[in-house]
Amino acid sequence: MSSELSPIDTAKFVAAKQATEYVESGMKVGLGTGSTAAWLVQCLGEMVRDEGLRIKGVPTSARTARLARQVGIDVITLDEARWLDVTIDGADEYDEDLCLIKGGGGAHLQEKIVATASERMIVIADASKKVERLGAFPLPLEVLQFGYRTTQDLIAETLIGMDVLNRDISLRMNGTAPFVTDEGNYILDLDLKRIGNPRQLSLALNQIPGVVENGLFIDICDMVIVGHANGKVEVTDITNGTNEVVRFDVRDDDNIFVNIAD
C-alpha cells in the first residue's frame, strides 16, 4: 500500500492507523467525514473483517454511512446510540489549544452533534492542518435556505465588531447550484484570514437568526493525532497533558505499514 500513496495520503493513513488503537470491541464510535476520516473508516473495516472487531458506528454524513456499510461496519443512528465512547474525525485547521475549524466537507453540523455526544473526540490530521491562529481556512456556517441573503447581511454586520482580519462571505456552490447539506441547508463560507477570539466569534454567530451552526469546535477535541509522510505520528492528549511520538516504518517490499517502537 505504501508505495502507491502520495506523501499527503501517507500522512493521513498513518494518523488514521494510530487512531484505531483507541477503538475496542463493544464501543460505539462516531465516524467523521472527509478524506482523513475515510482512511479511518477503511482501517476499522479491515479490523472488523480480519480481526473480529465488533463496534457500532455512528456516521456524521450520508457518504460516511455508505462507506462504513461497504467495509462491514455496523451502522446505527445517534438516537439509537444515545452516547458514544469516542468520535474520530478530521479537521481543516487546529491550534495549540485544540480548537478546530471543521466543515470543509459540509458536514460540521452533524460532526459537532456527534462529537459532543462522545466521551472523547480524537482528531486525525496531517501536519499542514496546525496553525498558530485559526482563520486561514474559510469558516463554514450552515444556514437555513429561507432568507439566507438576509442571514448573510446579519453575519456581515456582526463581523464588524469581531477580531478578524477579513470579512468576505460567499455562498458555497456545487457546480452552478448552491451546495446543500444533508439537513437541506446552505453553507456560507467566511474568509476571515485570522480569528482573534474564536470563542467570542462562535457565540456571536450562533445568536444570528438563520444560522444553524458554525464550524468552530471549541473545548470539544481531546486529542490530536498528526501523521507525517515519513511515517512519524505525533499524539497530543490535552486532557492528560501528554505528547507521544509513534513511528510507522514504510516497507516497500511488501507494501505494508509496520508500527515500530520509537
Q: CA-CA distance, 79 to 112, in Å (whole number)?
A: 15
DSSP state of 239: T
CA 14 to chain centre: 16
Q: Where are the beta strands (DSSP E) in 52-134?
A: 56-59, 74-75, 86-89, 93-94, 100-101, 121-126
For residue 111, indicate whether it is catalytic: yes
5 membership: H or E segment, kind and range: none
Q: Which of 24, 46, 96, 111 is catalytic?
A: 111
Helical spans, DSSP H, in the chain: 7-19, 35-51, 62-70, 78-81, 108-116, 148-160, 198-206
DSSP β-ladder status, 242-251 and 168-171: unpaired
| Residues with catalytic function | 111
